[in-house]
Amino acid sequence: MGCPGTLRAVIIDHYDSYTNNILQLLQTTSTRDGLLYPHWSVAVIRFDQLSWNTFKENILPSLDAIILSPGPGNPNKDSDFGFNSRLINEANIPILGVCLGHQGIGTTFGAKISHAPNIKHGQICRISHKGAGVFRGLPQGFDGVRYNSLVLDPEELPEELDLAAWTYDPEDPSNKVVMGVQHRTRPIFGTQWHPESVCSAYGQQIINNFRDVVFDFWAGSSPWNNGTYRTIDVNASLPETILSYGTIIREASGGIQNCNLRNLQPVNAGSRPYYIKATSLGRGSAPHVIFDNVIRNISLDGEAWLDSARVHDSHSRNSYLAAATFSISYSTRSKMLSLYQQGRRLKHEILQISYWEWLDHLHTSIIQRNIDAVNPEYLDQKTEVGQPLLQLGLIGYLGYEMKRESLPGYIYKSANTGPDAHTLPDSQHMFASSVLHLDNYTGEWKLFSLIRRGCSDPIGDFISSSSPVGLSESEFESMLPHILDTFAAPPSPPHTISSPLPTFTGLDHEESYRKIIQEAQDAIRDGETYELTLTTKFTASTPDVDPFSLYLSLRERNPAPYSAYISFPIHETTILSSSPERFISIDSDGVAEMKPIKGTIAASPDKEEDERRKKHLATDVKEIAENLMIVDLIRSDLHNVSPSPTIKVPKLLHVESYETVHQLVTTIQSQIAPNVGGIKVLESCFPPGSMTGAPKLRSVQIIDRLEQNRERGVYSGSIGYLCASGTVDQSVVIRTIVKHGKKLELGAGGAITWLSEPDKEWNEVMVKANAVTTALPKGSCTAAAARDGEGGPKSQ
């Protein structure tokens, strides 16, 4: 059937982490008179943004169709479903409901909600149907991904609703489970499964069928139409009043027209106050020797070694060493921002805006806009899509508690309004105006230096600097011979040597953790969440040990592609990370890449057994479901910063092998929209979905309660750089020790699903912790207890 015109629609979002993926099914186009036009003009608005009266009077008259999103909870609760039951009852308009939206259609007309006979999250089922309405032309038994604990009772469907689609669980083939409904006299449809999931089939056809239904309805050619006629115009657009409520930024909300590569560098290149000079240094000593002799202790504001200790592929090809020119710290508890230079505090103020907004201004408007970066073509390294390079810029961490300012709908009430003198900042970054770069493939070193063209120093002015930021040409020329000499002649011993990592003791033991897992599964059973990433902590104390010597021990014990050593001496904070997981990167062309790890199994020295384990990992229903849930979440997150057609999954559920483990990894890529900076991208995707579960907001709220509002700190956040060129690379903070004052902390945890077995989950926590150091449960007296369990650790 033809589609002459552009339909105007809203997706009503219930704070679900998959809602935005529906947009990918609304990107179809047609041509008229040789011109391309979209089939849909769409905005995503949240169910609690407006009252029913406001929506009815100001929004509804301009709409041709409505899609009710998935979401956590129960449609019988106004706190979960809002005014949507009134909408379904009173609005004469085509409606498509997905998951929670589907259930809400049922309950609005009197259907009963019950627990699914077999709860399914991230699992594929076979969909059978009657072939009518949105199911027209679809084959029988196609794949659909389910994320649901609750279902409509097939024995209690009201007369108004027809059972349009169903499935039979493999566990009980005689038990029919409602997968779709259709109103008998109105254009209202529901799908229990998620057509927008990356592993669901025929999602596009379902939306195309819905479009045909909508067009027929307004054209008056449908029996559902009760005398309401409307012309559907080509290139029609939602009114500005509706678009202003949209949850997705304008730059990313467009379709095909917004897919062009962005220009990360402003157009006035060559006239900025600073430029970056790249100097080849040849081959030199091992990176830990260079760091020890060239970088360590030269700055009172901090030092960093982004260390690809385990060179696995191009993503871990490069290592970076830097000392801080100035540093930044921030606390969400007090909203206190502090800037330091040479150990002295330059600024100390309470922010009136979010820290994300302030950091975006610093990175985009003060740093990136004023610096001429080196053209990537002259960096002597061909990179893959999604693989960035650091020249110089901001290095540091965003702690998990930065969720308080990144998650829409999250409410945080701080009990502390005073200074945070004795607490760990939620974020710390250093600005590195010089960076040593090591190409781990070739062994070649390069120096990147920030050079001032004249007297102008806008970065220094912004931070109220006590000394200029960057070097003059003459200062650089005076400094360079010393650097060249250092690399020409290896530094003499003694060098720092590794010190044994201490034994850590847990805040939980098996019984206490089992209790939390049971509460998490109760929430899953009630439809409040699909997956929860629970964590716990292990602590130790080493007041007199050099943390760098501990890091050297860690990188020997557990080398990883995203290893890092970062020190912020002013707040007595040192991060010793051996993370294997990339959070997000943005390359020089604006291509973002995310690589969530969900599913890990220990490698075996026996080749036959090792192959068996890899095959098991690749086919394990529970591990695949965990990975898929986060993949769909990440796709939805990226819609907030990328045009929908650019979001791709080039590698789905791919087994990657390392020395000690095999991991189930998926690669997701997208093109960041024009004029969207790296900080905005991080904010839109933060915290990492692999550390929260899904849906993200509801999962975080439940985690707060289950973990007794215990702050995770740096753990579960991200570590990495924000380059002056606009590139970004951040890892997920797992397998990481954080030293704050005299105390050491190590976080570990795992994703809890309905299929989780509490004893195995605890064993996996202990396996993960012991991959980093010797870790004992609370109350344990022997290290043996930490090594009892066998099995495959997951990513946390």
Amino acid at 535: T
Which H or E element spans position 451? strand 444-452
Catalytic hit among 401, 510, 528, 581: 581
Contact, 427 vs 404, CB < 8 A? no
Give long-range contacts, CB 8 A cutoff, 24+ apart: 481-490.
483/279, 483/281, 483/294, 483/447, 484/281, 486/284, 486/290, 486/293, 486/294, 487/281, 487/282, 487/283, 487/284, 487/285, 487/290, 487/445, 488/282, 490/284, 490/285, 490/289
Which spans in 346-423 are helix H?
Answer: 355-360
Query: Distance between alpha carbon 63 and the CA centroid of its chain, in Å?
Result: 32
Separation of alpha carbons 425 and 413, rounded Å: 17
430: three-class secondary structure by DSSP: strand
Which residue has tokens 């091992």? 286
Active-site annotation holds for 683: no
Catalytic hit among 120, 335, 598, 768: 598
Q: How far is CA 643 from CA 19, 189, 671, 761, in A?
A: 15, 27, 7, 38
Active-site annotation holds for 240: no
Which residue has tokens 């790296």? 678
Tokens representing 439 are 């190409």
Cα dihedral 759, 762, 767, 769 in deg (nearest 10): -170
Separation of alpha carbons 712 and 683, rounded Å: 18
- The b/e string for 39-63 (b: 16+ C-beta within 10 A; e otherwise) is bbbbbbbbbbebeeeebbeebbeeb
Question: Looking at residue 134, what DSSP letter applies?
Answer: G
Nearest Cα to 736, choosing from 538, 569, 592, 597?
538
3-state helix, strand, coil in the chain (%, to 5): 30, 30, 40
- Active centre residues (catalytic): 581, 598
